[in-house]
Amino acid sequence: MKQGNNIRRPAYAGIYAEKDGFCVAIKSNGKIFAECVKTGKNNIDKKIFSYLYKYPLKHNVKLIAAGIVSNGDKEKEKKIAADIWLKEDIAPLFFKPSGGSGHEQARKAAIKAAERFKNNNLVDIKFDTKRRVIVEELARLEEFQETVSKEEFDLLLSLSEKFKRQKGKLVFFSSTPRGGGVALMRHALIRFFRLLGVNAQWYVMIANNDIFNITKKKFHNVLQNVAPAGTKLTNQEKKLFREWTKKNADRFADIFKKAKVVVIDDPQPSGLVSYIRKANPKAKIIYRSHIQIESDLADKEGTPQNITWSFIWNNIKSSDVFISHPVKKFIPNNVPRAKTVLMGAVTDDLDGLNKELDKRHMRYYFALFNEILKKNGQEPLNLNRPYITQIARFDPSKGIPDVIESYRKLREKLEKEKWPKRKIPQLVIAGHGAIDDPEGVPIYRETMNMLETDSYKNYARDVKVARLPDSDQILNSLMRGCFVALQLSHKEGFEIKVAEALGKGKPVIAYKTGGIPIQIRDKENGYLVKTGDTGKVADLLYKLLSDKKRYLKLSKNARDKVERDFFTVSNAIKWLFLATELMEKGEIRGDCRSVRDLINRQKQVRLRKYLPTWFVGLLKK
């Protein structure tokens, strides 16, 4: 791929389709160009797509988003939206007619689209007055249908219809609308439920940095046992958390009363459970744990983990279902096994992280990435040389020092053998931030300081470290362009970035930590290494660099054998199953089985394809 450092100007389109053509407006660099095109009545959608394809090439701009003015033909509008998103990487936005000529309406739509992308050309996430997240549709149901078997899709439709007959209402609560895996999963799931006509809503808590310091350092880090020694949750911090919870509960009071099934994502909103019970005793509540919990420490009286877990458990113990990642040692002993089910994290085939990207669009995102590096005093990524990635948040659990040490050992070996520079890989360490994660900046600084020490300074110019804005396509491009992906987390709930890399045909070298081994077939699509063995990681990187046949085999296996249970359609099936069972029977007998296993035992359908293989080993242990 050519080096791409000249960033095309961002531009925003407005589209208004008429009976015999369309009007289009393009806003870029503070100016608006608009025209109406007569095409005849046939194939207007294809003509619009062709226009949006050709305009950026001719004018050297990158169309970020297109505002589509609704004219009543929703199917055609959705087809246009899906095409420009999946093929031209243009985010579709839908606007109601605002009056005036087609020319005027296209101009207004272009202006509105630009206004939605204010900071770093990132979409401004919208809420209603109750902090319900407003999601945008990207792809159609037809595109998702192509990603699964007929049996899987039929099961989805069957559960969807059952949910509607029950007049279900599914409500999710979490801490942040962007940044981190939970937010990504909820955006994807709510988008998909909208396509199905399923009544599902997602609300986020009122942001509070003082509270997020508590939930990150005293909840998350303590439970994972990556906090500094002596870190304990204090009574004052519990008091502050309760006060914040009440403030949120007051805002959500009307939502609690109307919900039939409520999902609490992680500890941040855990205090809402008692308020939901009081407001709506009939509601069924699911607590979804997304993190690795050191259950042996959580079970031990007096430990920091026990103090934190006891506080959280007291908040959530009346929940009807407890969902854990499919690693049984993540589940403390006081969680009743009868109401516990297992569910892995997922990603979305058709979002910005995973959809196919044309090379010209990837060049744009690489240029953005290099601009970020430049602003932070780093040299650009050389796209004429290979590179290794670790894509993850800047978090003490992610093993970033091990990534750098593994790279140092690899470089020493390559330089000892006098490899030419063009074949020596660079290293990219990058990830998004999150509103509820106050540690991102300090960990980033620690990483940069580490590279300045004597042990690493000789290689620092080839290490690219970036804390990125929430541009999924930058991460998508980095993963698609890399040679090998690393995931050297010391503690990990699941880390779906592993599955995302595998789906792009990238072998993954990772530690045998948490939920990571569930995703990798050792020696088939990647390698699993004992935590802390940086020498082994370096050796495996060397083998893949020096043995093309081995690399191509692992790459093909990664792409061809990616587990379909790790994607949105499967996730939607599981949530619909849990919701419909709770509404119908009032309880779920989990007994620490996977949700997919529960579905199959119900004999609603027997799938011939895409049966997850990774639970079999777990259940035999």
Rounded to whole angstroms, the Cα distance separating 596 from 159 reads 13
> Around Cβ 38, how many Cβ atoms within 10 Å?
9
Same domain, 502 and 458: yes
Residue 190, SS3 per DSSP: helix
Domain count, the chain: 3
Same domain, 543 and 418: yes
* Segment 245-295, tens digit of pLDDT: 999 999 999 999 999 999 999 999 999 999 999 999 999 999 999 999 999
Q: Residue 548 maps to which CATH number?
A: 3.40.50.2000
Stated as kind and residue range, the H or E segment containing 321 is strand 321-324
Residue 69 lies in a domain: yes
Residue 515 lies in a domain: yes
Band of residue 434 on the pLDDT scale cut at 50, 70, 90: low
* pTM for this prediction: 0.92
Residue 612 lies in a domain: no
- 439 pLDDT more than 80: no
Cα angle: 412, vertex 415, 417; to 5 degrees = 110
Same domain, 374 and 487: yes
Q: Which residue has the higher pLDDT, 611 or 395?
A: 395
Same domain, 506 and 390: yes
Same domain, 378 and 470: yes
Same domain, 554 and 572: no
Same domain, 426 and 530: yes
Same domain, 317 and 363: no
Same domain, 595 and 471: no
What residues pair up with 61 in beta bridges, in sequence order?
9
Distance of alpha carbon 243 from the chain centroid = 30
Predicted pLDDT at 616: 47
Q: Which residue type does 162 have? A: K
Predicted pLDDT at 437: 64
Predicted pLDDT at 452: 95
Predicted pLDDT at 619: 45
CA distances (Å), 174 to each of 207, 248, 288, 295, 350, in order?
11, 11, 10, 23, 23
Please state, rounded to an integer, the average pLDDT across all residues of the chain.
92
Predicted pLDDT at 609: 42
Residue 450, SS3 per DSSP: helix
> Around Cβ 445, how many Cβ atoms within 10 Å?
12
Residue 610 lies in a domain: no
> Around Cβ 119, how many Cβ atoms within 10 Å?
9
Same domain, 450 and 421: yes
Predicted pLDDT at 620: 45
372 dihedral zone (left: phi>0; alpha: psi -120 to 50; beta): alpha
Predicted pLDDT at 435: 60
The residue-averaged pLDDT of 147-159 equals 95
Q: Where are the alpha helices (DSSP H) in 127-268?
A: 141-145, 150-165, 181-196, 209-214, 221-224, 235-258
Rounded to whole angstroms, the Cα distance separating 597 from 558 reads 25
294, two tokens: 């050191």
- 312 pLDDT more than 60: yes
Residue 233 lies in a domain: yes
Rounded to whole angstroms, the Cα distance separating 77 from 229 reads 56
* Segment 358-407, tens digit of pLDDT: 999 999 999 999 999 999 999 999 999 999 999 998 988 999 999 999 99
Closest CA to 62 of 482, 477, 432, 480: 477
- 601 pLDDT more than 60: yes
Residue 1 lies in a domain: no
Same domain, 382 and 280: no
Residue 152 lies in a domain: no
Domain that holds residue 49: 9-122
Residue 92 lies in a domain: yes
319, two tokens: 């929940």
